[in-house]
Structure 1
Amino acid sequence: MLVKFKVFDKQLKIVREVKNIDYENSELLFDAYVKEDGSKNIETYRGFDDVIFMMSTGLIDKDGAEIYEGDICYWEKSGFRGIFTVSFGTESLKWIADSNCKFNSLSDYKEYYLKIIGNVYEGSQLYQE
């Protein structure tokens, strides 16, 4: 199983997909875009202490976007709906829907309508340095 990561860059305050991880030098490489249209790609190196790692859960939302740790998801099924934050349960050792949701295990939502609506880092008051 291939483990995929995104990172939240504490300096730029953005979430980006990781291109390369250099464990020997404790740094990683990702692309930071200057413009919203994606032009002016700047390859950026950061130390592990300068980012927050977000690991993929392996689940996909209704638009085909991969769901990562720290994502905020909207769910809906049979007229019921809610919002949860994705996290990893260190006691249960599984991905969990962290809120007052119907289920605790993220895998229980596989058959639900799921949509990523944000994450706990970008544009959020939840992340404070």
Structure 2
Amino acid sequence: MELLSKRRICKMVVPKFRLFDKNKGNIIDSSKIMNINFENKSIMVLNKILEEDNFTQKDYSEHTFKNIVLMQSTGLKDKNDKEIFEGDILAVETDDEVINVRIFWDEKHALFMFESKKYNENELLAELVEDNTYPFEIIGNIYEDKELLDA
């Protein structure tokens, strides 16, 4: 019985995604993604909601995987309580400097990592968050703000 009382209870996490539209060059927020069909390789996106009197009309568009980049949430938040997604660029405040890093999914090890272009190294994202020594915040993403990685 003692074993049961010490067992950790894990919550099931529902994957959350946002996307980058290659044709329009913009990020589409996760709240606008209505359906992801991995079999047909397409995504249904809510463009806008039109409301008149007692009538509501929703405008949707379908995107194919070849025209978008799908980015998964890490389930973590920055110092401003903003959700961190794959492809985000974070400014990490160390004792000596601010380092810009990119968040990416490591297929081989099945985990999120961050890459420092300045120091040419990759580290586990979980270590940055668990350590809690260095504050970090989202300053952009690799699709709209790639130049931030050179700073």
Kindly state the Cα deviation for residue 92 of structure 1 after the two structures are TM-superposed. 2.9
Aligned CA RMSD, in angstroms, stands at 2.6
CA distance in 2 between counterparts of 1:4 and 1:120 reads 18
Q: Is the 8 A contact 1:82 1:101 kept in 2?
A: no
- Counterpart position of 1:38: none
CA distance in 1 between counterparts of 2:86 and 2:113 reads 9
Kindly state the Cα deviation for residue 47 of structure 1 after the two structures are TM-superposed. 1.0
Q: Does 1:5 align with 2:25?
A: no
In the alignment, residue 22 of structure 2 is paired with which amino acid?
K
Unaligned segments of structure 1, at least 5 residues: 34-40
SS of 2:109's equivalent in the other structure is coil
Match among 51, 58, 65 for residue 48 of structure 1 = 65
Kindly state the Cα deviation for residue 42 of structure 1 after the two structures are TM-superposed. 5.2
Which TM-score applies when normalising by structure 1?
A: 0.77
Of 88-97 and 3-12, more deviation after overlay is shown by 88-97
SS of 1:62's equivalent in the other structure is coil
SS of 2:123's equivalent in the other structure is coil
Judged with a 3 Å threshold, the aligned counterparts in structure 2 of structure 1 residues 114 and 7 are, in CA distance, closer, same or farther, namely same
Q: Is the 8 A contact 1:89 1:95 kept in 2?
A: yes
Q: Does 1:116 align with 2:138?
A: yes
CA distance in 2 between counterparts of 1:14 and 1:44 reads 15
After TM superposition, list the pairs within 5 Å mapping 1:78-89 onto structure 2: 78-89=95-106
Unaligned segments of structure 2, at least 5 residues: 1-12, 49-57
- Counterpart position of 1:27: 42
Q: Which has the larger radius of gyration?
A: 2
- Give the count of matched residue pairs: 119
4+ aligned runs moved over 6 Å, structure 1: none
CA distance in 2 between counterparts of 1:32 and 1:63 reads 27
SS of 1:107's equivalent in the other structure is helix
SS of 1:25's equivalent in the other structure is coil
Q: Give % identity.
A: 28
Q: Is the 8 A contact 2:87 2:142 kept in 1?
A: yes
Which TM-score applies when normalising by structure 2?
A: 0.67
- Counterpart position of 2:27: 15
